[in-house]
Structure 1
Amino acid sequence: MDKLAPDWWTKTLAGAVLGLSLAFALSGLLAWWGPGGIAAPNKSQAVMWSLTVFWMPVFAFVYLFRTGLRAVLWLSAANVLAYGALFHARGLL
């Protein structure tokens, strides 16, 4: 079994920056595609707190990638998909 590479700095930065960016996109998708759509009353608190719910698991599991480069590449791809879905939901694509 291969040992996980100890490039903690790259993994930490990937989880912090790209994980937060991904959490913003997923929270935006929750706002647009969640119950009641974007104009639902009293939805802002749920969307606000969902940011942490989406970000912290990504930030924790980023250390399971074998290298920091893999973490950056996978999280970048996830960001592209999430923001593509968000822009599609908003009608910008």
Structure 2
Amino acid sequence: MPAAPAEPIRPDWVSKTLAGLLLGLSLAFTASALLMTQLRGMPLAVSGQLAMWLVPPVWLGVLSSVYFFRNGLRAWAWLLGANAAALGLWWWLRQGGAA
């Protein structure tokens, strides 16, 4: 039985990579800011370290998961939506929405 022909590499890997790099970084920063809103009672030395060390795992997780999107446009759209939702939640929490 002949092997199935290999599917060519899709040309949208650049757009997926850029989406993961740029929007993933902003999502990681926003996740860090969201964590800081919840750690107000903790000393700054501890909460700052927790928030700082949250950025690389979130960023790399997003960057590695963008290749599961069907195309680059979907990656940009979903990550823009995730960023908008996270920033909206952060803004709401900063305004005292959870208190």
Give the TM bin, normalised by the shorter chain: 0.7 to 0.9
- Note the aligned Cα RMSD (angstroms): 1.8
Pair 1:12-2:17 in alignment: yes
**For residue 81 of structure 1, what is the amino acid of its counterpart?**
A
Give the TM-score of the pair, scaled to structure 2. Answer: 0.81
CA distance in 1, matches of 2:13, 2:48: 34
Deviations 1:54-93 (A, max 9, x none): 1111000101111000000000000000000000111088
In the alignment, structure 1 segments of 5+ residues that lack a partner are: none
Count of matched residue pairs: 88
TM-score (norm. length: structure 1) = 0.86
Larger Rg, first or second structure (1 or 2) = 2
Percent identity for Structure 1 against Structure 2:
44
Which ranges in structure 2 are unaligned for 5 or more consecutive residues?
A: 1-6
Runs of 4+ with >6 A deviation: none
Q: 1:68 to 1:92 in 2, by over 3 A?
A: farther
Higher relative contact order (Cα pairs below 8 Å, separated by 6+ residues): 1
